[in-house]
Amino acid sequence: MKELSTEARRQILDSIRTVPDFPKPGIEFKDITTLLGKPEIFDLLMDHLEARYEGYDLDYVAGIDARGFIFGSILADRLNVGFVPVRKKGKLPYTTVSEKYSLEYGFDEVEIHIDAFGHNGCQSNGKTSRVLLIDDLIATGGTAVAASRLINRIGATCVEACFIIELTFLNGKEGISAPVYSVLT
């Protein structure tokens, strides 16, 4: 597995804008749109992720709504595997399975199609689908924990959860049912 150099990490980190007091006072929002607007840095990141996951024997990459769709779909294409969107409740048109997670004040839900990873999470050859979960950032981890549970609940295996940025002081990776890899912490 290819390691990301200190210089490459610095370039990626420097390409991400921090927006103070968004979406509310006291929050420092990590804005990845500036990373997306720098093709040479974005390509560096995607090359790293491709090199990391090319030997994982994946069947799918599942991206969390909405920024996980960007990284997940591109990575799935590079790895020649399927892409599955993990959506907010009510956004998918077919039969779904959903998982609730806690918010600061209440609950929310994410869902996937019941057949997203094949019949009962298996490929046509009977092999259990191997899935990488990806998103841009992990903070408190509610959405990621719910998404990893969904993958496993329908019979697939979440082999790893990947995040571009991890806010380690929030301990968000606790409860994720798979190893966690974060490009930046």
Instruction: State which H helix or E strand residue 15 sits in.
Output: none
**DSSP secondary structure letter of residue 119:** B
Q: Is 160 a catalytic residue?
A: no
Whether 104 is catalytic is yes
Q: What is the DSSP string of 123-183?
A: -TTSPBPEEEEEEEEESS-HHHHHHHHHHHHTT-EEEEEEEEEE-GGGTTTTT-SS-EEEE
User: In terms of DSSP bridges, do strands 130-138 and 60-64 run parallel, antiparallel, or are they unpaired?
Assistant: parallel
Candidates 9, 50, 54, 67; catalytic one: 67
Query: Which residues are identified as catalytic?
Result: 67, 104
